Amino acid sequence: MTTIEIKEAGFTYPDGTRALEDLTLTIPTGMRMAIIGQNGAGKTTAAKLLNGLLKPTEGSVQIGDWKTTEKTTAQLSRKVGYVFQNPDDQIFHNEVIEEVRFGPKNMGFDNDKVEEITRWAIELCGISEYAEENPYNLPYSMRKFVTIASVIAMDSDVIIMDEPTAGQDKIGLEILGRLLDVLKEKGKTVITITHDMEFATAHFDRIVVMANRRIIADGQATDVFYRPDILKESMLKPPAVAHMAALLGFGDGVLHRSELVELIKKRHLVE
Amino acid sequence: MNGIIQLKNVSYRYPVGEDWALRNVSIDIQRGELVSIVGNNSSGKTTLCNLIRGFIPHFYKGEVEGSVEVDGQSVEDYQLGQLGARIGYVFQNPFIQISGVKETVFDEVAFGLENLGVPVEEIIPRVEEMLKLVKIENLREKNPFELSGGQRQRVAIAAIIVMDPDILVFDEPSSQLDPIGTEQVFDIIRLMKERGKTIVLVEHKMDLVAEHSDRLIVLDKGTIVMDGPVREVLEAPLYRSFNIQYPHVTEVALELQEAGVELRFLPIRADELPLCLGAVERKVNPDDNN
């Protein structure tokens, strides 16, 4: 069990830039949580506290029974996998399969498990046909899947993904959706940072909204996207479906396409 | 009339590639047009952009067939620097666009103008105007490498637009931006269109493509499979066969049609949804958007 417990954590970068204030969050095992908010709101800093890449300058971050300040980033990476926003910060092998194999090898899995989990991760990320390629010959969106595969192959309890939908086409979004379903079945905790409100609404049980270095809302999608005050402060826009529902005069709470379609069908097929 | 950008029967194969990345592509883009290019990843969108801006064949070698002309002159006959002054290219990945040689955002935005030999007294006001336009005035003293992804994307856009090229190529300019930042980028694109720029846009966010484009080109496996006014392309049943995203409202509408709900037309912008459902009783001409 790897519950994440953050208490009154703050963070100031060495140059004095204040990036986070008073972050308090409990993330139980198996939760799927999206962090949303404007560029510069502190999302990536918050995520980096969760995996120990950054240590809080105040308060505490605890991963299972480990305090992040007492462990090295390498130790913490066994519990929390992190997919960077920019895949090029993360890729350093010249063959996709080598890149993906690196993590599980380092985890000390036996050879069979390394091979098995490497293949599994590559297939799940839809990059099997590129296994022998140099990652840098692949387009950005595929390089992102190389880094996702590398992280899930480590089989850590918690997986953090920074902007996984950026630059993905429809096929890429479908692969991501499937991947999240598989991770859910395996009971993994998945935390994502995203600007894609449709993605957040479709796949995450809990939405944390950040603005100006703080959490300003924490709940289900409907608790967030129908709150004008929160939208205003965070400068976010609700998913397109909410806008369409409003145009048609449906009440609050509609967020999924299927809900909207049902409401319209009811109204227009009965008449 | 001949277009500002003309591709005739262009095929291209990367140096190490076995297959053609583009096959027999012909496009004629008129001055002032905003053309969006859509297609799934690996369909050839970025390759097409690289041909238009002369990176193929100047920078990437490989095998090119057919001709690419900008303003009636083959891109091969331009110096790459000359083309760079005519065509501004905003990268998909802002992390690789930042020069790495400048220590502040202000200097980064000024870098291109310096390289073009613009006098200093002209550079300063142009950079000032640009920082304001792209809403990054507050970042002027920051090191570009300390910025978040979204901030860097804005700096990258400013650094290109400040050079005032006739043609702008945007390769997924908003991929790292939040919804408001995305809107701001599209406000800039709209402004550039009003200033008469010719714009080529690669973008996955179809709501924005539908709202801003005059024309839509669909690429599939290196071939142009559709090319026409944005509404005509999205309305055509053929579009569905390429498994590319639709605008959100169009997806809703298609599901409704399948369920037997009658629509007056297929909406491509959210505000058309009430009209297509007949909620407002008046003659609707979907092309009358203003």
Interval B253-266: pLDDT, tens: 999 999 999 999 99
C-beta separation of B139 from B86 below 8 A: no
User: CB distance from B50 to chain A under 8 Å?
Assistant: no
B193-214 average pLDDT score = 94
Statement: residue B110 has pLDDT above 50: yes
Residues of chain A with pLDDT under 70: 270-271
More reliable by pLDDT, B288 or B150: B150
pLDDT in the model for residue B281: 44
pTM of the model: 0.85
pLDDT in the model for residue A270: 66
pLDDT in the model for residue A176: 97
Place of tokens 């912008």: B269
Statement: residue B41 has pLDDT above 90: no
Cα of B182 to nearest chain A Cα, Å: 10
User: CB distance from B175 to chain A under 8 Å?
Assistant: yes
C-beta separation of A216 from A233 below 8 A: yes
pLDDT in the model for residue B227: 97
Statement: residue B175 has pLDDT above 90: no
pLDDT in the model for residue B279: 62
pLDDT category, B283, cuts 50, 70, 90? Answer: very low
Q: Average pLDDT over chain B, rounded to whole?
A: 88
> In which order are the strands placed within the sheet that holds B63-70?
B22-29, B5-13, B63-70, B73-74
User: CB distance from A232 to chain B under 8 Å?
Assistant: no
Phi and psi torsions of A176, nearest 5°: -60, -40
pLDDT category, B102, cuts 50, 70, 90? Answer: confident
B127-132 average pLDDT score = 94
pLDDT category, B289, cuts 50, 70, 90? Answer: very low
For the ranges B128-142, B222-236, B275-289, the maximum mean pLDDT occurs at: B222-236
pLDDT-above-70 percentage for chain B? 93
Residue contact A264–B207, C-beta within 8 A: no
User: CB distance from B129 to chain A under 8 Å?
Assistant: no
Q: Which of B14, B16, B41 to mutate to test the interface with A (most CBs of A within 10 A)?
A: B41
pLDDT in the model for residue A206: 97
Residue contact A198–B151, C-beta within 8 A: no
Which residues in chain B touch residue A240, judged by CB atoms under 8 angstroms apart? 207, 248-249, 270
Cα of A65 to nearest chain B Cα, Å: 31
Statement: residue B269 has pLDDT above 90: yes
pLDDT category, B284, cuts 50, 70, 90? Answer: very low
Q: What is d(CA A223, CA A206) in angstroms, rounded to the nearest whole number?
A: 10
pLDDT in the model for residue A271: 53
For residue A15 the two structure tokens come to 């140059």
Q: Which of A226-230, B272-276, B282-286 has the lowest mean pLDDT?
A: B282-286
CA distances from A33 to A110, A161, A205, B103, B227 (A): 32, 11, 6, 36, 40
Q: Beta strands A4-12 and A58-63: pairing type?
A: antiparallel
Would the ipTM clear 0.90, i.e. be above it?
Answer: no
Residue contact A261–B146, C-beta within 8 A: no
Cα of A111 to nearest chain B Cα, Å: 33
Which residues, including other chains, have CB under 8 Å from residue A85's CB and lie 6 or more apart? A44, A162, A163, A166, A193, B149, B176
B19-23 average pLDDT score = 92
